[in-house]
Amino acid sequence: MQQLADITHFYLHGIEKLSEELKHFQKEEELWKVTGDISNSAGNLSLHLVGNLNHFIGTQLGKTGYVRDRDNEFVSRDVHRDVLLRMLNETKSMIEKVLSEITEEELLKIYPLNSFGEGKTTGFVLLMLLGHLNYHLGQVNYLRRFFSPTAL
């Protein structure tokens, strides 16, 4: 069970770091700003990660019933920071619950969707999703440093 405990740890850590980044934007409206060729704001990336994790982990593995609206993740604006933080906290709780119920044997089973390629295991998909979380966390960190460089 150590592999699953490690995966869970890194998900929870990543979501916590994302929450910290959002808290360190000095002005709330900066959460929705973009710069240069960057087309997604920190707020939209956060909504996207909430949707992504709740769909691929919550709905597919935990049968939570979450219904994703992917298009809305990229067009919503001005969601209050407290709402984003609550959504991230709820996502963190969902991940903790769902992953605590998965067995090591289930990691080796084929993931129920082919979104990541045919025949990929649940363990493989969880690692891909973790990489996706960290990729966007890096983008949010960049945006936070650009718009709020003195925050940390």
**Total structural domains in the chain?**
1
In a domain, 139, yes or no: yes
DSSP structure class, residue 109: S
Residue recorded with tokens 């770091």: 17
Q: What percent of the chain has pLDDT over 70?
A: 98
Domain containing residue 80: CATH number: 1.20.120.450
In a domain, 36, yes or no: yes
15 contacts 129 by C-beta, under 8 angstroms: no
β-partners of residue 121 are 110
> pLDDT tens digit string along 44-100?
999 999 999 999 999 999 999 999 999 999 999 989 999 999 999 999 999 999 999
* Res 151: pLDDT: 63
